Amino acid sequence: MSEKRVIFRGTALPLLLLAPQLAVTAVFFLYPAAQAVRQSMFRSDAFGFGERFVGFDNFSALLNSARYWDSVGVTAVFAASVAIITLVVSLALAAAVDRLIRGSSVYSTLLIWPYAVAPAVAGILWWFLFNPSIGILAYVLRTFGIRWDQFVNGDHALILVIIAASWAQISYNFIFFLAGLQSIPRSIMEAAAIDGAGPVKRFFTITLPLLSPTVFFLSVINVVYAFFDTFAIIDTTTAGGPGRDTTTLVYSAYSDGFLGQNFGSSAAQSVLLTAVVMVLTIVQFRFVERRVHY
Amino acid sequence: MTHAFKTAALAAILLSGAALPAAAQTEIQWWHSMSGELGTKLEGLATAFNETQSDYRVVPVNRGTYPESMTAAIAAFRAGEQPHILQVFEVGTGTFMAAGDAIYPVQELMADTGEAFDREGYLPAVVGYYSTAEGEMLSFPFNSSTPILYYNKDAFEAAGLDAETPPTTWDELAEAAATIVESGAASCGFTTTWPSWLNLESFSAWHNTPIATRQNGMAGLDTEFEFADAGLVARHWANLAEWQQTGAYQYRGRGSDAGPAFRSGECAILLESSAGRAAILANTDFEVGFGMLPYYDDVEGAPQNSIIGGASLWVMRGKDEASYPGVARFLAFLSSPEVQADWHQSTGYLPITQAAYELSQEQGYYDENPGSDVGIQEMTLNEPTENSQGLRFGNFVQIRAMIEEELEAALNGSKSAEEAVEAAQTRGNEMLREFEAQNQ
């Protein structure tokens, strides 16, 4: 490999070159994160007149709350479903487009479109489609004898948010998978074909292993997405209901903080949520990445 | 070169001159949550006020739903960017009453600025809701509403029911709803907007049953919920769950999300705020009937009187001193009988002053629009008791969401109605204690 490596002497220049990025990280991540950690140890009134230090009370209240653990469960089901559905569907779509000889750019463009839709709009779109009064999909389901009701039936509501959240993320996955597929050398595939391997066999023995870095990267991204970026979708489709059946951890932090003005608990939830995602990411890098071949 | 410079300088002078009159106007920010027909009407009020004088300019800004605008204003206050006037729904009253120096009590504002203000002119049930225990009015009642019953006369006829007589008791309503569904006149019998307001809060007031101790929270922060104790709420929720199974009742979400189910003709009966009238009349192609809220006729004291909902205007402190006389003048403008009567008649909100009510009567409004006074009749049916004068709880936005969670659990069968009501009471009391601790 003839890689060009630049060696810096001293530390001043590298630091200077990194400074803009470090400054952005400090202002937009480190400072707010420190504020959240600080606020998680206080209790304050809505308008910010009084503040009282309570140590880890906010955390212990959360960990002793059955509702918080319910949210953990909902989040686990939600995040796992979104990550898996998104990966499988977008890989299938990318493989289909990759096999096309003509018109693949048209299909790619069409499949990338949903990514331009804002999450809140995506949420409302699916809310409409499944609305038991006016939704076309709810109507179709009724003809199959399924009385769809996302307002009362918790399973229906959870399915709805999983579909909406997955749909919004498929485009992103699709782009990476398509690029990954197109970078697989044709010669390997042709050699395998000559040896008598059918398309399915080629896919599982050659394509998928060669795509493993992409799959790994996307699975990390999808889990982070499901944990943090799905707030708008949940808010516009189910608002966490019925009951608390679609209240994920990030939605719970929002409703306690913004609707309830319970800033201490909300900050504690954010800190815990960030910690959970950090642990998950570390686990993914430590254990899953070993199976990845670059 | 010099010529171009001169032209530019002249243009600049002209421009700054043109901008002068506008700069002399003091801007008054008004955050509200009215959209659709009501939003248009509200913007009209601001425009009308701006045209009456040239010193102030009221700028209405829609900041989303009631909970959204309230939380946005609280966040803005913490950042020093609050509006002058904020429309807060009745559920937020407890939070804002406890806000101390963040708010400028309206009665004090009127006195400070020398604006005429007659507290006695307001309807007692309305003004009582927004006053301290000592009787000082803290916020300005603007759009007060009360829930009423709307029904689809065409669907009633198609189902063979008497289209001129709305159901008055829950038994009658359940029977009518079942008949409608069975006959195929509509696929859904009835639905409710604002589930907690309709099926717990005003429901309890209407049956003269307490929601909480300390006069439903009006008398102090140490209030405790007791709505589960009488068993009436559990009985009602159990009925709703049963009717949900047959389609007689269909739950269609929180807030006013159920409105479209009635307007589209899917549900034949709707329990909604009297302020839903404008949107309902504008968006339905069937004949709409109006009725009072249903009640359980074996409950002593029912029907009592309904409680108000809607919102009031809170003035926030910390703005430029010169703007407050303008705020006071605007509030005085809003309470004038002509403006109030017009707002009441075109929206379905209650008239907040006696004078506006009388003016509407003189104008023959109620005779020409049968059913438009149902809300007022409900409000004034009986002298309000401690159970029906209103309610005031801290953290109530969150508590209401929690009540709706529990109601949904009862409806989908994951809890029995008793369990759900008990859980709502226990969780509600935890939230009340938390608010009490935060505001001591």
Interchain proximity A259–B67, CB inside 8 Å? yes
Within a 10 A sphere around the Cβ of B283, how many other Cβ atoms? Answer: 14
Q: Is A11 helix (H, G, I), strand (E, B) or coil?
A: coil
The ipTM is: 0.79
CA distance B232 to B390: 18
Does residue B134 sit in helix, strand or coil?
Answer: coil
- Listed by number, the residues of chain A in 138-167 with a beta carbon closer than 8 Å to a beta carbon of chain B are 149, 151-154
User: For A243, which of B250, B395, B409 is closest by C-beta distance?
Assistant: B409
Q: Which residues of A touch B395 (CB under 8 A)?
A: 260-262
Question: Using CB atoms, which residue from B252, B412, B431 is nearest to A133?
Answer: B252
> Are B74 and A151 a contacting pair at CB < 8 A?
no
Show Cβ contacts of residue B76 under 8 Å, excluding neighbours closer than 6 positions: B82, B83
Which residues in chain B come in under a pLDDT of 50? 1, 13-22
Chain B residue with CA closest to A256: the answer is B398
Distance CA B129, CA B94 (A): 10
Query: Which of A44, A151, A239 shows the shortest C-beta gap to B251?
Result: A151
pLDDT at residue number B17: 46
User: What would the two tokens of residue B104 be?
Assistant: 């400028």
Token pair for residue B252? 């269609």
Contact A243 B264 (CB under 8 A): no
Q: HSE (CB half, 13 Å, CA atoms) of A81?
A: 17
Taking an 8 Å cut-off on Cβ atoms, the answer to whether A49 and B71 are in contact is no
Kindly list the residues from chain B whose CB atom is less than 8 angstroms away from the CB atom of residue A134.
260, 264
Which residue, B108, B148, B245, B111, is CA-closest to B188?
Answer: B245
| Helix ranges, B372-416 (H) | 374-379, 396-411
Residue among B98, B250, B398 whose CB faces A259 most closely: B398
SS3 B118: coil
Contact list in B for residue A269 (CB cut-off 8 A) is none
Q: How do beta strands B267-273 and B26-32 pair?
A: unpaired
CB B304 within 8 A of CB B208: yes
Contact B414 A241 (CB under 8 A): no
Answer for the pair B310, B277: CB distance below 8 angstroms, yes or no: no
Give all strands (DSSP E) within B234-342, no chain letters: 267-273, 288-291, 309-316
Return the H-helix or E-strand segment holding B56.
strand B56-62
Quick check: B389 and B215 in contact, CB under 8 A?
A: yes
Per-residue pLDDT, A1: 45
Among residues B106, B191, B188, the alpha carbon closest in space to that of B147 is found at B191
Q: Is B206 in contact with B303 (CB distance < 8 Å)?
A: yes
| Chain B contacts to A (CB-CB under 8 A) | 67, 71, 74, 77-78, 95, 98-102, 244, 250-254, 260-261, 264, 266, 395, 397-398, 401, 404-406, 408-409, 411-412, 414, 431, 434, 437-439
Its pTM stands at 0.84
C-beta atoms of A151 and B264 within 8 A: no
Interatomic CA distance for residues B304 and B260, integer angstroms = 29
CB pairs under 8 A between A and B: 85
CB spacing of A134 vs B74 below 8 angstroms: no
Spatial contact of B86 and B31, defined as CB atoms under 8 Å apart: yes
Residue-level pLDDT at B422: 97
- Residue with tokens 């369990």, as numbered in its chain: B419
> Within a 13 Å sphere around the CA of A149, how many CA atoms are in the beta-carbon half?
18
Cβ within 8 Å, pair B414-A45: no
Q: Could you tell me the CA-to-CA distances from B429 to B138, B212, B221, B232 in Å, in that order?
A: 26, 10, 11, 19
Q: Which residues of A touch B71 (CB under 8 A)?
A: 258-259, 261
CB B379 within 8 A of CB B306: yes
Tens-digit pLDDT string for chain A (294 aa): 445 677 777 888 888 999 999 999 999 999 999 999 999 998 887 787 778 888 898 999 899 988 899 999 999 999 999 999 999 999 999 999 988 877 788 888 888 888 888 888 999 999 999 988 888 999 999 899 888 988 999 999 999 999 999 999 999 999 999 999 988 888 988 899 899 888 888 888 888 889 988 999 999 999 999 998 898 999 999 888 898 899 999 999 988 888 777 888 899 999 999 998 889 888 888 887 777 776
A260 and B398 in contact by Cβ < 8 A?
A: yes
pLDDT at res. A119: 87
**CB–CB contact B254 A259 (8 Å):** no
Cβ contact A134–B260 (<8 Å): yes
**Residues B263, B266, B270, B272, CA torsion sign:** negative
Around Cβ A52, how many Cβ atoms within 10 Å?
Answer: 14
CB neighbourhood size of A165 (10 A): 29
Test A242 with B99 for CB contact under 8 angstroms: no
